[in-house]
DNA sequence: AAGTGGTCTAGACCACAAC
DNA sequence: TTGTGGTCTAGACCACTTC
């Protein structure tokens, strides 16, 4: 397998090999978030290729959202902000139409020692592997507009169990990195509707149609680090996209 | 304005100038759909730039979905297929999970001589400009799952008024191009929900929750050539996306 | 064999940022 | 002034498609 892999790598263009090598260094956290990586000439010398080849490799990593380039300053490790998450498409605007920034509140963190088959399948783990379960809401001026259920592999995230609910950050992914050294770099989201659904946190008088968003969040190595189900009122959802 | 534009173009990088020039030739339909454009060396000679600069310009047009490159064969004018349209995310699969190809049926084509203010605003036209209105459904094995209302500027599309309903193609955009010489290259889609909506074509016993997709379809010059509202049952909708 | 795009190089010069 | 990424060049050679 090792040999097969190296044979495969040998057949790839050099810019793909370099891209792979740099990505491995990102996984190993050789450079920190928002830190400049070596400049193009240094990388060219190091990998024994021309600057143009380095540029092509870096452009691919930029397109993947792992790096950002800034003219005159350098190339930096990117901090993913998930600006295109479907969650952002609930209509939370103030009276002047400005988007408002929601507050994330953690209501519950608990261990599930014997796991859950459905969740562990989503996380690509054995069906009885232990989990951590979090209930969280996103609020806007005291009003809950999104209810979230989050599951994490216990081994990598058990440091979260020692943290009081009130000390959870507004943003979870930076916290995963700081507390558990787990970096989320991309995610897949699936949207569907639930007729007549009722959620404990979304104070509906009666069941109504809800949007359900399932998110699989991935680390740099492609493994699923978090599975999340978010619920919100369908009437408040609005999504826009461009197609070609 | 002409001068301003040329001044602006002068300050752009050459690959942007070349990209603009080639895009103008695409608008003028210098080359047809699926036809190869001149090879990279010819374009380099013609625009007096190096092959690398031509490649960069072409790569941008490829990223925009206007061209496709095929190694060993050439670079071709792309026919947009709108594979990522939200419409495709209704659950139309057969029992084995394979996606099924829906049939588009046109039920009505009529002229609206005095226009409609809301629609003309969507089409970026004067509020009383004349329109063409089309009602169409997408069917799967006799069952209607999407109902569409389509509005077009009358001037550019009046050839459609002479065509019998039964002779409308399954795909409208290739037909727009063939019959009216209007090429759709991109679109913006907005998704929202309608609680308790009822549509004449979607044979619901009672009002139910629907998905409404508003599409603004653009030509190569960026103008809105078609405004379309599509309706489907919310319970049958499922969308997936990747974020970074 | 001829023609196309794909990879890779080495180097010049420009534009922007920081000191 | 120095260092960074951005633009542009000219040319060699490779891989794929077609005849």
pLDDT tens, position by position, for chain A (244 residues)?
333 344 445 578 999 999 999 999 998 888 988 789 999 999 999 999 999 999 999 999 999 999 999 999 999 999 888 888 888 888 766 666 666 788 999 999 999 999 999 999 999 999 999 999 999 999 988 899 999 999 999 999 999 999 999 999 999 998 998 899 898 999 999 999 998 888 999 977 788 899 999 999 999 889 999 999 999 999 899 999 999 8
In this complex, do A240 and B64 lie within 8 Å of one another by their Cβ atoms?
Answer: no
Q: Tokens 């080639």 belong to which residue?
A: B22
pLDDT of residue B54: 98
pLDDT of residue B95: 63
| Residue pair A208/A196 in contact by the 8 Å Cβ criterion | yes
A27 to chain B, minimum CA–CA distance in Å? 16
Q: Which helix (H) or strand (E) holds A213?
A: strand A208-219
| Contact residues on chain A for B241, CB-CB shorter than 8 A | 84, 86, 188-189, 191
Q: Which bases of strand D have any atom within 7 Å of the beta carbon of a protein residue?
A: 3-11, 15-18
The CA dihedral of B230, B141, B132, B29, to the nearest 10 degrees, is 90
Q: Taking the mean position of all CA atoms in its chain, how far away is CA B214?
A: 12
Between B80, B195, B243, which is nearest A186 by CB? B243
Q: Which residue has the higher pLDDT, B208 or B113?
A: B113
**Cα–Cα distance between B85 and B211 in angstroms, integer?**
14
Residue A222's contacts (CB-CB under 8 Å, 6 or more residues apart) are none
The phi and psi torsions of B228 (rounded to 5 degrees) equal -140, 135
The two tokens of residue A164 are 């009081």
Mean predicted lDDT score pLDDT of chain B: 90
In this complex, do A189 and B240 lie within 8 Å of one another by their Cβ atoms?
Answer: yes
pLDDT of residue A2: 35
Q: Write the burial class of residue A233 (CB in 10 Å: 0-12 exposed, 13-18 middle, 19+ buried).
A: buried
| Residue pair B144/B134 in contact by the 8 Å Cβ criterion | no
pTM of the full predicted structure?
A: 0.89
Q: How many CB atoms lie within 10 A of CB B82?
A: 20
DSSP annotation of A102: P
The two tokens of residue B166 are 């039964």
pLDDT of residue B109: 98
Instruction: Look at residues B108, B106, B126, B107 and name the one whose alpha carbon lies nearest to residue B117.
Output: B126
Lowest mean pLDDT among A39-43, A134-138, B109-113, B239-243: B239-243
In this complex, do B190 and A239 lie within 8 Å of one another by their Cβ atoms?
Answer: yes
pLDDT of residue B93: 61
**Cα–Cα distance between A54 and A30 in angstroms, integer?**
18
Query: Which segments within B52-102 are labelled E, that is strand?
Result: 67-70, 74-77
Q: From B193, which residue of chain A is nearest by alpha-carbon distance?
A: A235
pLDDT of residue A196: 82
Q: Count H helices and E strands in chain B, helices first.
A: 7, 9
Work out the average pLDDT over B17-24. 95
Local confidence band at B120 (pLDDT 50, 70, 90 cut-offs): very high
Work out the average pLDDT over B86-97. 73
Local confidence band at B35 (pLDDT 50, 70, 90 cut-offs): confident
pLDDT of residue B84: 84
pLDDT of residue A203: 73
The CA dihedral of A207, A208, A209, A211, to the nearest 10 degrees, is -80
The two tokens of residue A206 are 């009666």
For the cut 50, the answer to whether the pLDDT of residue B193 exceeds it is yes
pLDDT of residue B207: 78
What's the Å distance between residue A22 CA and nucleotide C18 C1'? 26
């Amino acid at each position: 397998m090792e040999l097969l892999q190296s044979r495969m790598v040998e057949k790839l263009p050099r810019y793909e090999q370099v891209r792979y090598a740099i990505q491995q260094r990102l996984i190993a956290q050789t450079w920190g978030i928002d830190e400049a990586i070596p400049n193009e000439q240094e990388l060219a010398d190091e990998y024994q290729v021309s600057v143009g080849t380095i540029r092509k490799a870096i452009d691919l990593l930029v397109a993947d959202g792992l790096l950002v380039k800034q003219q005159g300053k350098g190339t930096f490790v990117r901090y993913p902000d998930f600006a295109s998450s479907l969650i952002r498409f609930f209509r939370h605007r103030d009276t002047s139409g400005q988007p408002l920034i929601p507050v994330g509140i953690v209501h519950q963190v608990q261990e599930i020692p014997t796991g859950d088959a459905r969740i562990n399948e989503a996380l690509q783990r054995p069906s009885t592997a232990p989990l951590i379960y979090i209930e969280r809401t996103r609020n806007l001026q005291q009003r809950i507009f999104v209810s979230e259920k989050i599951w994490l592999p216990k081994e990598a995230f058990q440091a979260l169990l020692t943290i009081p609910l009130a000390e959870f950050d507004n943003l979870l992914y930076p916290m995963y990195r700081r507390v558990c050294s787990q970096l989320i770099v991309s995610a897949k989201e699936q949207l569907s509707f639930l007729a007549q659904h009722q959620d404990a946190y979304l104070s509906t008088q009666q069941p109504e149609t809800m949007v359900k968003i399932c998110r699989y969040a991935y680390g740099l190595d492609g493994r699923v680090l978090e599975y999340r189900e978010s619920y919100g009122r369908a009437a408040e959802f609005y999504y826009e996209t461009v197609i070609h």
